[in-house]
């Protein structure tokens, strides 16, 4: 039987789906589900983690993320404006900062802030205790990434927008605030979401600062439970709780993007 070209393509596509589905089923069927659930899905251990998993660990994870994000976004915006400045030393300083902090592991920066700053300034301390140290420690790294994202967003706004604003008598600063930045931020919403999701997971590094039961976050909380119960079920619980943060975030961003698309 001779098949038409279009029909041949369709058959090949369906065959591809079938092979793909069979491969997944084969892997799933060959796994030892009994041993797996013994290790990772112990209901009583999972149950023992609540309500602290939510009221303390999840809550702190969200607080750390938001604090570091706001700090990073503010500093990132300043750095982006410095990189685009006509003043050469500003550009140099911002470029040096971005290259440095993008190149260092977040863990290292967090450690330096947590232990280096108290050594350098023995009479003062970062306000807010561990919350303050996390804000700065994670925010410094996040700022370097966000600065580059925001800079790209500002440069993606057509030059004519700034010219039109200046022509109407707006100062450069006023034109940036009222015209360029609002449009730049609409452009960078998707990459900034990536940033906040990465930050959410970076809060798992907070343990290097030494946390108390009151300031514990998800990963450390799960790790501690794992140690006392000698079973990795807590990691699964923590993983699900991370998704509880990041999945709704993606939804919010999708809604924002739809709104921005209407206005473009």
Provide the binding-site residues for another protein, judged by CB under 8 A. 158, 160-161, 163-171, 174, 178-179, 182-183, 186, 262-264
**Nearer Cβ to another protein, position 108 or 164?**
164
- In the complex, least distance from residue 168 CB atom to another protein, rounded to whole angstroms: 4
- In the complex, least distance from residue 158 CB atom to another protein, rounded to whole angstroms: 7
CA distances from 10 to 16, 184, 210 (A): 10, 43, 58
Residues 6+ apart with CB under 8 A from 57: 216, 217, 218, 220, 221, 222, 238, 241
Question: Where does the chain have alpha helices with state H?
Answer: 5-30, 33-40, 43-48, 52, 59-83, 88-103, 106-111, 117-120, 129-156, 159-167, 172-175, 181-202, 218-229, 233-263
**Nearer Cβ to another protein, position 14 or 255?**
255
**Nearer Cβ to another protein, position 69 or 185?**
185
- In the complex, least distance from residue 162 CB atom to another protein, rounded to whole angstroms: 9
Burial 43-58 (b: 16+ CB within 10 A, else e): eebbeebeeebeebbb
- In the complex, least distance from residue 165 CB atom to another protein, rounded to whole angstroms: 8
**Nearer Cβ to another protein, position 4 or 173?**
173
- In the complex, least distance from residue 262 CB atom to another protein, rounded to whole angstroms: 7
**Nearer Cβ to another protein, position 151 or 186?**
186
């Amino acid at each position: 039987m001779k098949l038409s070209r279009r029909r041949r393509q369709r058959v090949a596509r369906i065959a591809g789906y079938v092979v793909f589905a069979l491969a997944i089923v084969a892997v799933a069927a060959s796994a030892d589900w009994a041993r797996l659930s013994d290790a990772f899905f112990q209901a009583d251990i999972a149950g023992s983690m609540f309500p602290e998993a939510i009221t303390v660990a999840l809550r702190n994870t969200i607080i750390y993320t938001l604090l570091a994000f706001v700090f990073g976004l503010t500093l990132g915006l300043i750095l982006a404006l410095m990189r685009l400045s006509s003043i050469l030393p500003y550009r140099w300083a911002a470029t040096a900062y971005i290259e440095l902090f993008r190149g260092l592991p977040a863990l290292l920066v967090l450690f330096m802030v947590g232990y280096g700053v108290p050594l350098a300034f023995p009479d003062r301390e970062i306000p807010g205790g561990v919350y303050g140290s996390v804000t700065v420690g994670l925010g410094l790294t996040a700022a370097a990434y966000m600065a580059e994202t925001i800079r790209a967003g500002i440069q993606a706004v057509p030059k004519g927008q700034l010219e039109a604003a200046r022509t109407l008598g707006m100062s450069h600063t006023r034109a940036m605030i009222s015209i360029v930045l609002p449009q730049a931020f609409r452009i960078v919403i998707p990459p900034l979401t990536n940033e906040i999701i990465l930050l959410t997971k970076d809060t798992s590094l907070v343990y290097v600062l030494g946390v108390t039961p009151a300031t514990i976050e998800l990963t450390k909380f799960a790790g501690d439970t794992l140690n006392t119960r000698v079973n990795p079920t807590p990691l699964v619980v923590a993983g699900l709780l991370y998704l509880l943060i990041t999945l709704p975030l993606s939804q919010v961003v999708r809604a924002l993007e739809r709104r921005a698309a209407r206005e473009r």
